[in-house]
Structure 1
Amino acid sequence: MSGLASSAGVMSVAELVGRAVAKLGADRAFGVVGSGNFDVTNALVEAGVPFTAARHEGGAATMADAHARTTGRVAVVTLHQGCGLTNALTGIAEAAKSRTPVLVLAADVAGYQVRSNFRVDADALVAAVGAVPERLHSPASAVDDVVRAWRTASEQRRTVVLSMPLDVQAAPAPEGAAARVEALVPPPAAVPARPAQSAVDALAAALRDAQRPVLLAGRGARGHGEVLRALGEASGALLATTAVAKGLFTGDDFDLGICGGFASDLTAELVAGADLVVALGASLTQWTTRHGRLLPDGVRVVQVDREVEQLGVQRAIDLPVLGDVGETAAAVLSALRAAPRTGLGYRTAEVRAAIAERARWADVPVLDEVTQDDDGHARIDPRVLSRELDRRLPLERVLATDSGNFMGYPSAYLSVPDEQGFCFTQSFQCVGLGLATLVGAALASPDRLPVLGTGDGGFLMGASELETVVRLGIGAVIVIYDDAAYGAEVHHFGPAGADTTQVRFPDIDLAALARGAGAEAHVVRSVADLKVLDDWLAGPRDVPLVLDAKVAEDGGSWWLAEAFRAH
């Protein structure tokens, strides 16, 4: 299709689309270029939008997802028709389930090509994974179609797939369309929804009455850490987050860290002991509540969300508050300052001391640092490995994770400076998204050290994007928690006597594979082996460092036991 209209000196609709997306505010695009998205991708680049070429469409979608989560802005993906879209579907599903603002520009066959091998029911596929299907309907409607798709992504924080039929792309842009595109500007940010005064008064009263309140911040609370810290202080509440908001309260004396499956024993104890839990932009999923056990009978539950359909979606709540988290917190804080509560609430000296000593997994003592496997080779305890990584890596980091039995170790043991420092693409719990997540988060955080925690399964499943990391010159630390198995299945089914042969694999040298892609890479079996990390940190960091950490079996991580309660 490339250049059919532009070859005659007339702008094509494909070029029009690329320019329109750039004018609307795109600042980064990802993709795998084929004939169907060649022109639109070049138009994006010519309009000043940086483009990152991935090695797989699924990787491109996840890179965009991670970039948008980290920046809070819409990221763009461009795809070839048919197989380009189907390859990207898992990444699109993860983004859609997380309400990530992503715009996917997906080529599609021309309407008359009913027998094309590239034909799939794109709209049905997109809707099936929870994304929003949109379409270029005609050259005349193209600009409006793009604007509608962009606004849906940005204002509703949705993942939108704009299907672009090849015949529409190749058509000449209508007269006046180019001028319309030049006049486009990024849409203004939506005005945050203010809660009703009656809801503010009710929440303030609940916080005054509570003896052991907890503020639980989720995805919708990102960006509102300052006012929530102040609200916690005024209300005597402890602070906790869901996994996707990890880092929101870093450094606060009353920060419990992540609530749910990743929680430390102390965090779980204190949350379960609350008499009031205020969920702020958190939907209280089974993972956050440990299947309801962290919200026992008798606790009063308030949920604050800007979308009415999210209120009470996971469990019954006592007080629904419809409104933006930041606006709600500010209004309730004002009410509490006007009529303060009495007493310390949950913020006693005893609780403060316990949090300082035991709230973080990295502070819990671990004994045996190295064990031997059946072949006599040393293997490092994943807890010790994670604790040492947290101690050695600079705090100014952006942390990404893959999925698997190992996942709780980097997620719970490694600190981050704020909520932008943790990128958790795990709503779909898909193995293999880690390397692509790292790329998107790293490009969104150029002043921070990118760090990835992945398993051997996830590393190999997404290994095509290791070349992308090297090619882009991303100085990242990639830690493979390598147990030579799909550990989740080993530890879930093995104790019941099941044959786990099919989920165990040869212990191969993943460091050698990484060196073949151009990374610096080493095998780690003990704390002493981590000197290579210290040396790399002291150097130029111009290539990624891959640590193939041969970890000891842990009998099934604590968070995994919680996750499998629903299986």
Structure 2
Amino acid sequence: MTSVGEALAEQLKQRGVDTVFGIPGVHTVELYRGLAASGIRHVTPRHEQGAGFMADGYARVSGKPGIALVITGPGLTNTLTPMAQARADSVPVLVLSGVNRTATLGKGMGHLHELPDQHGLAAGVALVSEHVAAPDQLAMALDRAFAPFVEGRPGPTHIQIPLDVAAAAYKGGMSATPLQPPVADQANIAAAAEAMANANRPVILAGGGARWAGVELKRLAERLDAPVVQTVNARGVIFDHALSVPASPSLQAVRRLIEESDIVLAVGTELGPTDYDMYDTGTMPRMNGCIRVDICPDQLARHDADIPLPGEARQTLSAILACLPDTTRGADGPARADRARQAALEEIGPEYRAQVEVLNALRDAVPGCLLVGDSTQPIYAGNLYYDHDRAGGWFNAATGYGALGYGIPAAIGASVADPAAPVICIAGDGGAQFSLPEIMTAVDEKLPVTFLVWNNRGYREIAASMQAADVEVIGCDPSPPDFVNLAASFGIPFRNCAPNPDAVIESVLQARERPGPHLIEVEAPPFSPEQR
């Protein structure tokens, strides 16, 4: 007899799953039954929130869905925050959970890990939440859970399997339903190409949905002579190019570039305020002649576009290129991009420019690295202005949903996805304390992750915001641990350095001489509120 739990492992393998992140429990024993035989790698975090963030980091680097396997009740609720982060950043994450026996659901009888409505709770965050009520429903549930990863804007999905169903004999097929992304109408493709070919000052806005379309994006930008503004999740897609503007479209310098254009092509970007209005002005940059490429029809409907093009970025950009003439009129693209870059770098101010210098030095010293961040000063600076040398190699949770504690587990997931790549996690001392135990997962898995903790002994950004609002600063100075002894307890090498490029690079390069994870503490100046 093949049980539902065994069939689950087989069908995950069939769909290309090679890794799951999970903490087993009594409510998932049957879901683990076929895992070892399947050959799927199991990585054990220290908290279910870590499982979700690891799945997120894995998905961003591998391009495949990240899988988290958790128990019912607290296991599922602990993954809701990672699910929300994945939804904000369009990251394909599947959360598999157990749930109590079918006969007990919704009755409030006090069973272990019981929730009033776990399915409904997950459905409030997930794009799709499936309840497998009978053994023959597993394949259909998996099809529906995997569909958003291909057919629309990806994000988190969820499947729950009751204890009695997981142990039952499986009844059903094993084949996955073929999935295809939407395709834009050819007439609209031709109209978009004609409009862009006739533009005098085109600009391209690239979001996270464009990070796998770097070749096509570069060709299109060069054909149109169009500057390419990259949101946080698109950094690196056109690295060190004369047309690259690796700066936040919330900056006035970048807004001017956008508003002075006569055609805006927005590719794989939701046009959300955390990218385009982070200073909460209540306005978006004006976008003349907006042509929008997005895999999600719902996203296209949320913002008016002169020409909406539903479809996957690479395929759609290729179709546009095929309709363009071999050469188009010059649009002074490099000069416009250079003016925007210089003005944006000036706009972020001297303190953030100093942080960007550290990031530039890290990138140049460790080429091709994955820079994974939490909410901390260098990450804030880089999100405003930073150009990375690897598409998809710069990502963090200091935008979108903004979940603290993301950096450490997401960096671990990234390293699992690409073990040959050097991974550097940049976290503040405050955010790191949300997920420090996850470093032991990197120890267990012998992952080459450098955990760089920017220690300014508190929540500096929040303290500054309270002070700017004339609110007395309280609650922003949690004591950090002794990182020397912390590293010793993890059994990993430790270094301490000053917050300047030379010192940080020296520490990182020394750390990389030995295999496995490392911890580096960067002693940044602590924030001191002004005395009234």
- Partner of 1:141, secondary structure, is helix
Equivalent residue number for residue 266 of structure 2: 279
Q: Does 1:254 align with 2:226?
A: no
* Inter-CA distance 110–382: structure 2 relative to 1 (3 Å threshold): same
Q: Does 1:358 align with 2:342?
A: yes
Equivalent residue number for residue 409 of structure 1: 381
Cα deviations by residue, 1:437-473 (Å, 9 ceiling, x for unpaired)? 1011111122211011111111011112111122211
Q: Quick one: which amino acid aligns to residue 374 of structure 2?
A: D
CA contact (8 A) 2:379 2:396 kept: no
CA contact (8 A) 1:484 1:504 kept: yes
Q: Quick one: which amino acid aligns to residue 124 of structure 1?
A: G
CA contact (8 A) 1:432 1:458 kept: yes
Equivalent residue number for residue 94 of structure 1: 85
Of the three residues 532, 536, 541, the one matched with 2:511 is 536
| Displacement after TM superposition at 1:153 (Å) | 4.5
Of the three residues 427, 431, 436, the one matched with 1:458 is 431
Of the three residues 284, 304, 322, the one matched with 1:334 is 322
In 1: Cα distance, 2:525 partner to 2:306 partner: 45
- Partner of 1:61, secondary structure, is helix
* Inter-CA distance 512–362: structure 2 relative to 1 (3 Å threshold): farther
CA contact (8 A) 1:466 1:514 kept: no
Of the three residues 424, 427, 431, the one matched with 2:396 is 424
Deviates more, 1:271-280 or 1:407-416: 407-416
TM-score by length of 1: 0.83
In 1: Cα distance, 2:288 partner to 2:136 partner: 57
- Partner of 1:134, secondary structure, is strand
Q: Quick one: which amino acid aligns to residue 510 of structure 2?
A: D
* Inter-CA distance 469–412: structure 2 relative to 1 (3 Å threshold): farther
Structure 2: which 5+ runs fail to align? none
Equivalent residue number for residue 298 of structure 2: 309
Equivalent residue number for residue 561 of structure 1: none
Q: Does 1:21 align with 2:6?
A: no
| Displacement after TM superposition at 1:206 (Å) | 2.5
Of the three residues 333, 343, 351, the one matched with 1:347 is 333
In 2: Cα distance, 1:154 partner to 1:35 partner: 33
Q: Does 1:171 align with 2:168?
A: yes
Equivalent residue number for residue 113 of structure 2: 118
Equivalent residue number for residue 3 of structure 1: none
Equivalent residue number for residue 128 of structure 1: 124
Equivalent residue number for residue 257 of structure 2: 270
CA contact (8 A) 1:139 1:173 kept: yes
| Displacement after TM superposition at 1:130 (Å) | 3.5
CA contact (8 A) 1:24 1:187 kept: no
Of the three residues 218, 228, 236, the one matched with 2:207 is 218
* Inter-CA distance 189–420: structure 2 relative to 1 (3 Å threshold): farther
Of the three residues 50, 53, 59, the one matched with 1:68 is 59
Q: Does 1:237 align with 2:226?
A: yes
Q: Quick one: which amino acid aligns to residue 157 of structure 2?
A: V
Cα deviations by residue, 1:478-507 (Å, 9 ceiling, x for unpaired)? 221221111221111113332212112335
| Displacement after TM superposition at 1:74 (Å) | 1.9
Q: Quick one: which amino acid aligns to residue 136 of structure 2?
A: A
Q: Does 1:149 align with 2:133?
A: no
Deviates more, 1:78-87 or 1:251-260: 251-260
CA contact (8 A) 1:93 1:131 kept: no
CA contact (8 A) 1:225 1:249 kept: yes
Cα deviations by residue, 1:209-258 (Å, 9 ceiling, x for unpaired)? 33221111112222111111111111121112211111111132211114
CA contact (8 A) 1:257 1:359 kept: no
In 1: Cα distance, 2:196 partner to 2:352 partner: 44
- Partner of 2:64, secondary structure, is coil
In 2: Cα distance, 1:70 partner to 1:515 partner: 30
Q: Quick one: which amino acid aligns to residue 162 of structure 1?
A: I
CA contact (8 A) 1:512 1:521 kept: no
Query: Root-mean-square deviation (CA), in Å?
Result: 3.0
In 2: Cα distance, 1:53 partner to 1:362 partner: 44
- The 5 Å alignment of 1:369-448 reads 382-392=355-365, 394-411=366-383, 415-425=387-397, 426-448=399-421
| Displacement after TM superposition at 1:92 (Å) | 1.6
| Displacement after TM superposition at 1:38 (Å) | 2.4
Q: Quick one: which amino acid aligns to residue 109 of structure 1?
A: N
In 2: Cα distance, 1:64 partner to 1:362 partner: 37
Q: Quick one: which amino acid aligns to residue 168 of structure 2?
A: A
- The 5 Å alignment of 1:429-508 reads 429-506=402-479, 508=481
CA contact (8 A) 1:71 1:420 kept: no
CA contact (8 A) 1:256 1:359 kept: no
Q: Quick one: which amino acid aligns to residue 287 of structure 1?
A: T
In 2: Cα distance, 1:490 partner to 1:72 partner: 37
Equivalent residue number for residue 156 of structure 2: 159
Structure 1: which 5+ runs fail to align? 1-9, 370-380, 557-567
| Displacement after TM superposition at 1:332 (Å) | 2.4
| Displacement after TM superposition at 1:75 (Å) | 2.3
Q: Quick one: which amino acid aligns to residue 347 of structure 1?
A: G
* Inter-CA distance 44–461: structure 2 relative to 1 (3 Å threshold): same
- Partner of 1:140, secondary structure, is helix
Q: How high is the sequence identity, in percent, across the aligned residues?
A: 23
In 2: Cα distance, 1:300 partner to 1:510 partner: 53
Equivalent residue number for residue 552 of structure 1: 525
The number of aligned residues is: 518
CA contact (8 A) 2:197 2:325 kept: no
Cα deviations by residue, 1:373-412 (Å, 9 ceiling, x for unpaired)? xxxxxxxx645543443343x1111111112454223545
In 2: Cα distance, 1:151 partner to 1:58 partner: 24
CA contact (8 A) 2:207 2:268 kept: yes
In 2: Cα distance, 1:477 partner to 1:306 partner: 35
CA contact (8 A) 1:136 1:164 kept: yes
Q: Quick one: which amino acid aligns to residue 408 of structure 2?
A: L
* Inter-CA distance 292–278: structure 2 relative to 1 (3 Å threshold): farther
Equivalent residue number for residue 564 of structure 1: none
Cα deviations by residue, 1:150-171 (Å, 9 ceiling, x for unpaired)? 3455544342211110011122
| Displacement after TM superposition at 1:298 (Å) | 7.1
